[in-house]
Amino acid sequence: MEKKMKRILTSTDRRASIRVLAGIPVKIRVRDLPGNIPASFSAETADLSSRGASLLLKNSLPVSSRISLILDLAFPFPRLETDAKVLWNYFLPRDKKFNCGVQFLSLRKEHKRILKEFTKTKSSLGEAVPERRRTERRTKAERRATVIPDHASNCRRVRDRRSFERRQTLGRRFFRKLTKSVLQLILLFKKKDIES
């Protein structure tokens, strides 16, 4: 009896199209979202493929929401318009931004061809996104733990801001006292040098 072995899919197996690092300006229009998310705003892509993109945003977008994108590709490529669906979203504490994965929905064949050409060009220049091994990827639970929806209560954010301002004020006071003490020592030594 022949045993069937389960094959572990690598990210290369699952990914059907090339992803490239690309800081492309994007204009985003949203509809039917909570009031604290603007109707349209600008963002930037972290990476891009012919099927979707990873966006860097100031605000969180709810998963499964539909948005319209205008991608401003570099010359000689034209500006592309498409609708997209938010697939995932998490907060990047170091950058203080949200990383949001979107899938293109209504991309015309011509635009899809242009994106494939764009990603192929960038990939040949060594700007392809490096593949991560399965062990390096974060689990879904870890990703969910870092998501802070922007449309949730702002109590925690306010408390964090206040504690930040408090620490900032204490830091200023400390450096003022330190500067004053150092200046007094310098003046004391200069005075002794002048007297001798």
135-150 tens-digit pLDDT: 455 555 555 445 555 5
- Fold (CATH) for 12-146: Thrombin, subunit H (2.40.10)
CB under 8 Å to 159, separation ≥6 — which residues? none
Secondary structure in 3-state letters for 42-69: EEEEEEECCCEEEEEECCCCCCCCEEEE
Closest to 131 (Cα-Cα) out of 5, 7, 6, 12: 12
Buried b (16+ CB within 10 A) or exposed e, 71-87: bebeeebeebebebebe
- In the numeric block, which tokens belong to residue 130? 């490096």
Q: How confident is the model at residue 156 (pLDDT cuts 50, 70, 90)?
A: very low
Dihedral, CA of residue 89, residue 40, residue 33 and residue 145, to nearest 10? 20
Cα of 97 vs its chain's centroid, Å: 5
- In the numeric block, which tokens belong to residue 162? 């206040």
pLDDT of residue 155: 45
Q: Is 21 in contact with 54 (CB distance < 8 Å)? A: no
SS3 142: helix
Find the mean pLDDT for residues 159-180: 71
pLDDT in tens, 84-130: 999 998 888 888 888 899 999 888 888 888 888 888 887 777 767 76
pLDDT at 14 over 80: no
CA distance 119 to 129: 10
pLDDT of residue 35: 65
pLDDT of residue 117: 85
- In the numeric block, which tokens belong to residue 168? 């900032």
The residue among 190 and 66 whose pLDDT is bigger is 66
Find the mean pLDDT for residues 24-52: 80
pTM, two decimals, is 0.56
pLDDT of residue 9: 39
Burial of 105 (0-12, 13-18, 19+ CB in 10 A): middle
